[in-house]
């Protein structure tokens, strides 16, 4: 269905300005902005129910106004636009068609899809999420389809066989059965450092996280969606690849150990975490405070010579907030820490200093930045 969403959010207070940003973020997940506070969305019935629920819960009904209109179809016969027109036709061939033409078909990825109705005709696994954060009880992840805007960020449904076909291509010379797809120089450049990668790798190439294990380059990329988590790692020097797919939102807890075992068992490459160090209480105390992320916030406290992170996350699909189990982190440098237990064991966390003052500017946690907001 084609709908139009318009809103008027009071911005006289800081809370009102936060609501305005939140409403815009929700709309951007489902449609496109055609005027400052007007969005057009092409969505199905399930997404409509979800969009309306999230918007209604995001506004203050005593101060804000929200209107949703159903547009008559076909759109081009009933919508007239004058002046600058920001609308784009997203029903035509876009990223999905480009990926099929330039990646899926040339590489022989016959089980790689963007849409659930394409994948469902083959055997598929069901994703699972925790009933409560930190519990051992799992439930089926019911919110399977994602907004189409996610597809360009990697909303691909596939299997281990296709992931390994993709890996084999990136271990090769850029050809498939003798047919050129990408130049060898481009493949090699993708696996060269392009920028520092923060704390989740040594560097980042083009689409690949780059790290070194026992002096050998490892390139990898992970992925996740509601109820699923995946990891693909390549060792180009040894012509080795491993693909790990898990149908649980805690699946990443297994990725690290499985990958390390495989590298050690098959290649003799053993990886070890750095040993924790001790920092005085006053050095740890400067990191204490609350850090705000786009979809939640993390509070850092000092506990028994370590830092403890307590995080509240807000689902990008439902808007539901959940409090995650606390995570303890030991120092391995002046501003860098490592998670010592639980499903995130071994994950690196660091703090980026501010230009002035003793407090950090950012917390870098799970590949995401959090703004320091309060003590």
Residue 274 lies in a domain: no
* Residue 24, token pair as written in the block: 């815009």
In this predicted structure, what is the pLDDT of residue 93? 57
Asked whether residue 37 is domain-assigned, the answer is yes
Residues 338-365: tens digit of each pLDDT: 999 888 889 999 999 998 888 899 999 8
Place of tokens 């992970």: 222
Query: Could you give the 3-state DSSP secondary structure of residue 316?
Result: coil
Burial class (CB in 10 A: 0-12, 13-18, 19+), 124: middle
Identify the domain boundary among 49, 77, 105: 77
Same domain, 111 and 238: yes
Residue 272 domain flag: no
**DSSP letter string, 78-93:** T----S-------SSS
Confidence (pTM): 0.77
The per-residue DSSP string of 125-142 comes to: PPPEEESSTT-S-EEE--
Specify if 346 maps to a domain: yes
* Whether residues 100 and 160 fall in one domain: yes
User: What CATH code is carried by the domain that includes residue 304?
Assistant: 2.40.128
**Would you state the pLDDT for residue 23?**
94
Picking from 16, 46, 77, the residue at the C-terminal end of a domain is 77
**Domain span including residue 153:** 95-267
Are 110 and 187 members of one domain? Answer: yes
The tens digit of pLDDT for each residue in 235-273 reads 999 999 999 999 998 888 899 999 999 999 999 999 988
Q: Highest mean pLDDT: which of 25-34, 150-159, 214-223?
A: 214-223
- When divided into structural domains, the chain yields a total of 3
- Say if residue 180 is in the same domain as residue 294: no
The rounded percent of the chain whose pLDDT value lies above 90 is 64
Residue 233 lies in a domain: yes
Selected residue with higher pLDDT from 146 and 10: 10
Parallel/antiparallel/unpaired status of strands 368-374 and 289-293? antiparallel
Q: What is the pLDDT of residue 34?
A: 92
Residue 90 has pLDDT above 70, yes or no: no
Residue 345 phi, psi dihedral angles, 5° rounding? -55, 130
CA–CA distance, 315 with 321 (Å, rounded to integer): 6
Q: Cα 204 to the chain's mean position, in Å?
A: 16
CATH at residue 229: 3.40.710.10
Q: Tokens at residue 293, please? A: 């992320």
With 0-12 / 13-18 / 19 or more C-beta atoms within 10 angstroms meaning exposed / middle / buried, residue 265 is exposed
Q: Is residue 276 part of a domain?
A: no
What radius of gyration, in Å, describes the C-alpha atoms of the chain? 23
Do 257 and 108 share a structural domain?
yes
Q: Are residues 124 and 174 in the same domain?
A: yes
Tens-digit pLDDT profile for residues 164-193: 999 999 999 999 999 999 999 999 999 999
| 91, pLDDT greater than 70 | no
Q: What are the pLDDT digits (tens) for 7-61?
A: 999 999 999 999 999 999 899 888 889 999 999 998 888 889 989 999 999 999 9
Q: How many Cα neighbours within 13 Å face the side chain of 29?
A: 21
Do 214 and 122 share a structural domain? Answer: yes
């Amino acid at each position: 269905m084609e709908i139009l969403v318009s809103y008027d959010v009071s911005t006289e207070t800081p809370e009102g300005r936060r609501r305005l940003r939140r409403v815009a973020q929700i709309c951007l997940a489902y449609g496109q902005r055609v005027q400052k506070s007007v969005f057009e969305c092409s969505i199905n019935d399930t997404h409509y129910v979800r969009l309306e629920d999230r918007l209604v819960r995001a506004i203050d009904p005593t101060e804000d106004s929200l209107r949703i209109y159903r547009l008559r179809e076909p759109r081009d016969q009933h919508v007239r636009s004058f002046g600058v027109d920001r609308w784009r036709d997203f029903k035509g061939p876009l990223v999905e068609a480009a990926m099929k033409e330039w990646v899926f078909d040339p590489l022989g990825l016959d089980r790689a899809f963007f849409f659930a109705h394409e994948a469902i005709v083959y055997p598929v696994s069901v994703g699972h999420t925790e009933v409560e954060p930190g519990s051992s009880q799992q439930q089926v992840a019911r919110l399977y389809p994602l907004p189409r805007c996610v597809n360009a960020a990697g909303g691909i449904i596939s299997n281990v066989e296709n992931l390994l076909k993709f890996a084999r291509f990136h271990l090769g010379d850029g050809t498939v059965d003798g047919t050129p797809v990408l130049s060898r120089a481009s493949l090699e450049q993708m696996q060269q450092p392009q920028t520092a990668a923060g704390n989740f790798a040594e560097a980042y190439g083009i689409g690949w996280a780059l790290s070194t294990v026992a002096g050998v380059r490892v390139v990898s990329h992970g992925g996740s969606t509601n109820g699923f988590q995946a990891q693909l790692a390549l060792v180009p020097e040894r012509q080795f690849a491993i693909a790990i797919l898990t149908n649980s939102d805690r699946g990443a807890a297994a990725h690290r150990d499985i990958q390390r075992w495989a590298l050690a068992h098959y290649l003799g490459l053993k990886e070890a975490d750095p040993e924790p160090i001790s920092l005085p209480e006053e050095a740890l105390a400067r990191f204490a405070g609350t850090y705000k992320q786009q979809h939640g916030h993390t509070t850092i406290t000092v506990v028994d010579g370590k830092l403890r992170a307590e995080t509240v996350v807000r689902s990008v699909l439902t808007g539901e907030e959940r409090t995650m189990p606390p995570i303890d982190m030991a120092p391995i440098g002046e501003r860098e820490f490592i998670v010592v237990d639980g499903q995130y064991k071994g994950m690196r966390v660091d703090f980026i200093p501010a230009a002035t003052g003793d407090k950090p500017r950012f917390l870098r946690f799970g590949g995401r930045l959090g703004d320091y907001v309060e003590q």
